[in-house]
């Protein structure tokens, strides 16, 4: 559907509100000035809390020049907005955002990163307020949803930044150098997980001149790792099914992780930097780096644990802290993308704008829609938690499907092609991946909620 057609069909008088983020240390903003024109063309008006974009590098003047109305009072933004856009909201900002939940009203729409599986009780509270909410972390990883995928966009930034932080703290240079004073050997990086964040970390470390190794339980990613100039660690362990479910990660059993850790011991002991990206939505991150591994690393080496917010891949990681154990610096910084706020906001704002326009096209703000993107991301509507995964987390019985959803499923099964990024030869029935980097997302370290 063209933008002109969308504009003619969009309901008039609907207002999008963008409050300043209040999660501790959050510098991003949910919408940037460059996104406003597309929303206005779709028949929406936009109000932004004054100063919301300042820390990200977007001034009030830049917003005002696009026709946005600046509002000084946070209460007014929530009171006037029909659609509230946020970076971290609901369960992803359960403490600092508690007051915001009191500002929500019946019939309002909330869109952002919600951490709905960990913060399921918060989502139930939001449902009770009559709010329709969409959690961007639940977006299905299909081809037509790529431009809306906040986990991927933020994870890419997190992977890039993690390498720069490691390089700055490392007491040695990254590239090999031939000098009159002798040859300087390159730093050795080991990236655990070759999802979006992991691949970006590999590419960034290679650009700095480091020798890079990577490991992922998915043999299919070996080619991507090698294409970036890194070496792929192949571990001869008991094979497990290599399938995927919507591109997201599934938890493996402890026996698998034990064999995995034993096999990785040697390469970690020889690494100057270890970057971990393994996180599972709604679950505690798997422990991949043991205290014994840390003790074996060279003095002055670095671990950047991008899964720190969901428990950490290193057993010694402390979320939100930078500690030193056995002479190794362990960085448990959470929410890494907020440290590159200009571009992370630009990418996030584009994701949200595309998603909101899709909701308008599907009529999802006004009634039920059978579209897969809408169905998977919608968490609450009509006073109920409607998302099957979140209901399961709450121990609630499944809701009966609406006629629209049932019709959509029947149509799809009748022969519509399924769009997917899943590699050939795999299915979306059941994932056995544990290295997809959800480091940017809250509850995503690739998702470092991130």
**Would you please indicate which residues are annotated as catalytic (active-site) residues?**
141, 146, 149, 152, 248
> E strand or H helix at 48, and its extent?
strand 44-49
Tokens coding 126: 């939001």
Three-class DSSP category at 200: helix
Q: What are phi and psi of 80, to 5 degrees?
A: -95, -25
Find where tokens 């059978």 sit: 370
DSSP secondary structure code for residue 177 in this structure? E
Torsion on CA atoms 267, 273, 277, 279, rounded to nearest 10 = 80
Residue 326 CB coordination number (10 Å): 15
Specify which residues 255 forms β-bridges with: none
Nearest one of 302, 298, 300, 274 to 288, comparing CA atoms:
274
What are the CA-CA distances from residue 111 to residues 30, 86, 108, 246, 263 (Å)? 10, 6, 10, 20, 42
Q: Write the DSSP symbol of residue 423.
A: P
Q: Are strands 384-385 and 378-381 parallel, antiparallel or unpaired?
A: antiparallel
Q: Which of 339, 2, 302, 309 is nearest to 174 (CA)?
A: 302
Roughly how many angstroms between the first and final C-alpha of the chain, as a whole number?
Answer: 32
Q: 28: which 2 tokens?
A: 């991003």
> For 308, phi and psi rounded to 5 degrees?
-55, -40
Q: Are 124 and 114 in contact (CB under 8 A)?
A: no
């Amino acid at each position: 559907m063209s933008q002109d057609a969308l504009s003619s069909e969009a309901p008039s008088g609907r207002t999008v509100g963008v409050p300043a983020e209040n999660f501790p240390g959050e510098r991003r903003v949910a919408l940037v000035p460059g996104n406003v024109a597309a929303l206005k063309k779709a028949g929406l008006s936009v109000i932004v809390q004054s100063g919301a974009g300042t820390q990200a590098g977007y001034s009030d003047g830049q917003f005002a020049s696009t026709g946005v109305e600046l509002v000084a009072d946070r209460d007014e933004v929530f009171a006037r907005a029909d659609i509230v856009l946020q970076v971290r909201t609901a369960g992803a900002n359960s403490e600092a955002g508690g007051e915001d939940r009191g500002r929500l009203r019946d019939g309002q729409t909330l869109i952002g990163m919600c951490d709905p599986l960990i913060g399921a009780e918060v989502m139930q509270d939001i449902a009770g307020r009559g709010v329709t909410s969409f959690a961007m972390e639940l977006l299905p990883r299909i081809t037509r949803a790529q431009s809306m995928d906040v986990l991927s966009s933020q994870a890419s930034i997190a992977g890039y930044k993690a390498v720069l932080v490691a390089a700055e703290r490392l007491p040695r240079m990254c590239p090999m150098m031939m000098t009159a004073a002798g040859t300087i050997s390159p730093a050795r990086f080991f990236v655990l997980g070759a999802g979006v964040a992991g691949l970006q970390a590999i590419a960034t470390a290679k650009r700095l001149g480091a020798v890079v190794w990577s490991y992922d339980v998915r043999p299919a990613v070996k080619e991507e790792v090698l294409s970036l100039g890194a070496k792929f660690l192949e571990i001869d362990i008991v094979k497990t099914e290599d399938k995927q479910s919507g591109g997201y990660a599934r938890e493996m059993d402890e026996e698998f992780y034990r064999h995995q850790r034993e096999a990785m011991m040697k390469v970690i002991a020889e690494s100057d930097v270890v970057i971990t990206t393994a996180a599972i939505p709604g679950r505690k991150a798997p422990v991949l780096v043991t205290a014994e591994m840390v003790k074996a690393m060279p003095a002055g080496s670095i671990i950047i644990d991008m899964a720190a917010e969901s428990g950490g891949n290193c057993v010694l990681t402390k979320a939100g802290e930078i500690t030193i154990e056995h002479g190794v610096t362990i960085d448990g910084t959470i929410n890494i993308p907020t440290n590159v706020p200009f571009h992370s906001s630009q990418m996030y704002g584009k994701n949200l704008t595309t998603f909101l326009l899709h909701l308008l096209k599907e009529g999802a703000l006004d009634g039920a829609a059978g579209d897969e993107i809408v169905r998977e991301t919608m968490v609450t509507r009509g006073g109920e938690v409607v998302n099957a995964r979140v209901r399961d987390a709450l121990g609630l019985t499944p809701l009966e499907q609406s006629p629209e959803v049932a019709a959509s499923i029947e149509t799809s099964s009748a022969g519509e092609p399924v769009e997917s990024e899943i590699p050939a030869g795999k299915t979306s029935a059941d994932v056995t991946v544990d290295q997809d980097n959800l480091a940017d997302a809250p509850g995503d370290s690739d998702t470092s909620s991130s």
